[in-house]
């Protein structure tokens, strides 16, 4: 029997000007964090979102940290974050010596529950970080209403959702600051990279100063603030600009992949997808719930996929279960939906170049394995 070719979980695609722009940075010598591609990438990223400012950073995690520091989050403050997300969302709050409060997510859309947020508001609450998980927009209308009522800052974690639209508004433009990641498996990549977008002139200026060691913008080597080196390099930005030029096509191809998966799984009643409330989600990594499975059964399905050379991933584990989130007072009730989705969830290969035959084979293999679980 010939072994089937390996199907990876994710793969970047460089089909545009990536190489050309990158070589240009090397030829010009501008490889570090000064150079024309940084501003070009920021300008185009801001234009794509219809916002005034885009501030590029070295990765998505520090984009979140930069946004929180610029927004004044500090020790003693509480920031409500979803319990079911990539760990960086919560960690970025701890880097400010503030306290992330892990709130439950909705069972249908897997995103921050407005009800759980409301239940976790105290006199110390300063901000909320909705995450548009797997490219699916969170319930921003309800979250914005709560933020308005309690005068809270909203920082959107859009790391997985570049290009998604919620009731006509792009994700990242609905709060005070929107944060993005350009890690190798994200919608567009710069290797490592991140971005903060905002319409607020003061926040934008503060982020620009903070990412450059807190240095005064007109007096070299004079520092007004305790800052960081969070800058993006010209090499990263060169790749990012080329990727952004292709964004519409990239999103469309990912959409086609979603629909092919959706079709292939439509006959299997045990499989539940993330509800998107008719928003324009983007397909970051196709992810589903296998209703009623235990974690062991989920892992057994992943092993069966692996035996067919198909790479898959468990979804995120609930953050409240991590050792370093157990001791402090990081949650006030057990986030039950987070636990449920975490146990039943699995992410499947999603990348440009994955063909319909691969997708159908993946779906058949998964459905068969699921049927064999006892
Ligand atoms: C990827 C990701 C981040 C962090 O991005 P990095 O660029 O890898 O640091 C933050 N939040 C979420 C939800 C992510 O998926």
Q: Which atom number of ligand 1 is nearest to the Cα of residue 64?
A: 10
pLDDT band at 326 (very low <50, low <70, confident <90, very high): confident
Q: What is the mean pLDDT of residues 39-67?
A: 98
Q: What is the mean pLDDT of residues 232-243?
A: 98
pLDDT of residue 283: 97
Q: Which atom number of ligand 1 is nearest to the Cα of residue 194?
A: 7
pLDDT value at 4 more than 80: no
Q: How far is the CA of 158 from the centre of ligand 1 (A)?
A: 8
pLDDT of residue 278: 78
Task: Give the 3-state secondary structure of the chain.
Answer: CCCCCCECCCCCCCCCCHHHHHHHHHHHCCCCCCCHHHHHHHHHHHHHHCCCEEEEECCHHHHHHHHHHHCCCCCCCEEEEECCCCCHHHHHHHCCCCEEEEECECCCCCCECHHHHHHCCCCCEEEECCECHHHCCCCHHHHHHHHHHHCCEEEEECCCCCCCEECCEECCCCCCEEEEECECCCCCCCECCEEEEECCHHHHHHHHHHHECCECCCCCCCECCCCCECCCCHHHHHHHHHHHCCHHHHHHHHHHHHHHHHHHHCCCCCEEECCCCCCECCCCCCEEEECCCCHHHHHHHHHHHHHCCECCEECCCCHHHCHHHCCCCCCCCCCHHHHHHHHHEEECCCCCCCCHHHHHHHHHHHHHHHHHCC
Q: Does domain 18-244 have CATH number 3.40.640.10?
A: yes
pLDDT band at 374 (very low <50, low <70, confident <90, very high): confident
Q: How far is the CA of 31 from the centre of ligand 1 (A)?
A: 24
Whether this model's pTM surpasses 0.75: yes
Q: How far is the CA of 218 from the centre of ligand 1 (A)?
A: 32
Q: Which atom number of ligand 1 is nearest to the Cα of residue 183?
A: 7
pLDDT of residue 2: 59
User: Is residue 237 a contact partner of residue 38, using CB atoms and an 8 Å limit?
Assistant: yes
Q: What are the backbone angles phi and psi of residue 180, rounded to the nearest 5°?
A: -125, 160
pLDDT value at 34 more than 90: yes
Q: How far is the CA of 357 from the centre of ligand 1 (A)?
A: 30
Q: What is the mean pLDDT of residues 127-139?
A: 98
pLDDT of residue 3: 67
pLDDT band at 327 (very low <50, low <70, confident <90, very high): confident
Q: How far is the CA of 81 from the centre of ligand 1 (A)?
A: 14
Q: What is the pLDDT of residues 328-358, one digit of tens each?
A: 689 999 999 999 999 999 999 999 999 999 9
Which one has a higher pLDDT value, 171 or 326?
A: 171
pLDDT value at 33 more than 60: yes
Q: What is the pLDDT of residues 254-300, one digit of tens each?
A: 999 999 999 999 999 999 999 988 789 999 999 999 999 999 999 99
Q: Which atom number of ligand 1 is nearest to the Cα of residue 284?
A: 15
**What mean pLDDT, rounded, does the chain reach?**
96
Structure tokens of 182? Answer: 């350009």
Q: What is the mean pLDDT of residues 47-72?
A: 98
User: Is residue 246 a contact partner of residue 97, using CB atoms and an 8 Å limit?
Assistant: no
Q: What is the mean pLDDT of residues 31-55?
A: 97
Q: What is the mean pLDDT of residues 320-329?
A: 89
pLDDT of residue 288: 98
Burial of 107 (0-12, 13-18, 19+ CB in 10 A): middle
Q: How far is the CA of 65 from the centre of ligand 1 (A)?
A: 11
Query: Angle 181-186-189 (CA atoms, 0-180°, nearest 5)?
Result: 75
The topology under which CATH files domain 247-372 is 3.90.1150
pLDDT value at 84 more than 90: yes
Q: CA neighbours within 13 Å on the CB side: how many for 91?
A: 11
Q: Look at the chain and count its residues.
A: 374
Q: Which residues line ligand 1 (CB under 6 A)?
A: 59-61, 85-86, 88-89, 131, 157, 159-160, 181, 183, 194
Q: Whose CA is nearest to atom 5 of ligand 1?
A: 60
Q: How far is the CA of 370 from the centre of ligand 1 (A)?
A: 30
pLDDT of residue 42: 98
Top mutation candidate among 158, 181, 189 for ligand 1, by most atoms within 8 Å of CB: 181
pLDDT value at 1 more than 70: no
pLDDT value at 152 more than 70: yes
Spell out the domain ranges in the chain: 18-244, 247-372
C-alpha 158/C-alpha 172 separation (Å) is 6
Nearest to 277 by CA among 159, 156, 164: 164
pLDDT value at 22 more than 70: yes
Q: What is the pLDDT of residues 85-119, one digit of tens each?
A: 999 999 999 999 999 999 999 999 999 999 999 99
Q: Which residues contact 140 (CB under 8 A, 6 or more apart)?
A: 130, 166, 167, 169, 174, 175
Q: Whose CA is nearest to atom 14 of ligand 1?
A: 159
Q: Which atom number of ligand 1 is nearest to the Cα of residue 160?
A: 15
């Amino acid at each position: 029997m010939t072994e089937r070719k390996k199907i990876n979980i994710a793969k970047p695609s460089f089909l545009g000007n990536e190489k050309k722009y990158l070589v240009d940075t090397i030829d010009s010598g501008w490889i570090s964090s000064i150079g024309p591609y940084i501003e070009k990438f920021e300008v185009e990223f801001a234009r794509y979102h219809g916002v005034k400012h885009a501030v590029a950073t070295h990765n998505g995690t520090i984009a979140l940290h930069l946004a929180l520091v610029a927004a004044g989050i500090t020790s003693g403050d509480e920031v409500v974050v979803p319990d079911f997300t990539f760990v960086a969302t919560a960690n970025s709050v701890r880097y400010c010596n503030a306290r992330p409060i892990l709130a439950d997510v909705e069972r249908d859309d897997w995103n921050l529950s407005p009800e759980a947020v409301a239940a976790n508001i105290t006199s110390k609450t300063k901000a909320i970080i909705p995450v548009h998980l797997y490219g699916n927009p969170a319930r921003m209308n309800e979250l914005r209403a709560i933020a308005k009522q309690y005068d809270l800052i909203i920082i959107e974690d859009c790391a997985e959702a570049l290009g998604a639209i919620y009731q006509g508004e792009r994700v990242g433009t609905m709060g005070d600051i929107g944060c993005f990641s350009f890690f190798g498996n994200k919608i567009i990549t710069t290797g490592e990279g991140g971005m903060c977008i905002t319409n607020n002139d003061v926040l934008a200026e503060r982020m620009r100063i903070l990412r450059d060691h807190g240095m005064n913008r007109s007096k070299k080597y004079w520092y007004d603030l305790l800052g960081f080196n969070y800058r993006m390099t010209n090499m990263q930005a060169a790749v990012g600009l080329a990727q952004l030029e292709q964004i519409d096509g990239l999103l469309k191809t990912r959409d086609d992949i979603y629909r092919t998966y959706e079709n292939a799984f439509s006959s299997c009643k045990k499989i539940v997808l993330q509800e998107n409330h008719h928003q324009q989600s983007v397909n970051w990594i196709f992810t589903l719930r296998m209703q009623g499975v235990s974690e062991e059964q989920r892992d057994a399905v992943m092993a069966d996929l692996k035996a067919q050379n198909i790479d898959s991933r468990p979804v995120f584990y609930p953050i409240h279960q991590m050792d370093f989130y157990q001791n402090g007072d990081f949650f006030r009730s057990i986030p039950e939906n987070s636990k449920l989705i975490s146990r039943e969830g699995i992410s499947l290969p999603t990348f440009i170049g994955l063909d319909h035959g691969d997708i159908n084979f993946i779906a058949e293999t998964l459905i068969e394995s699921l049927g064999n679980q006892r």
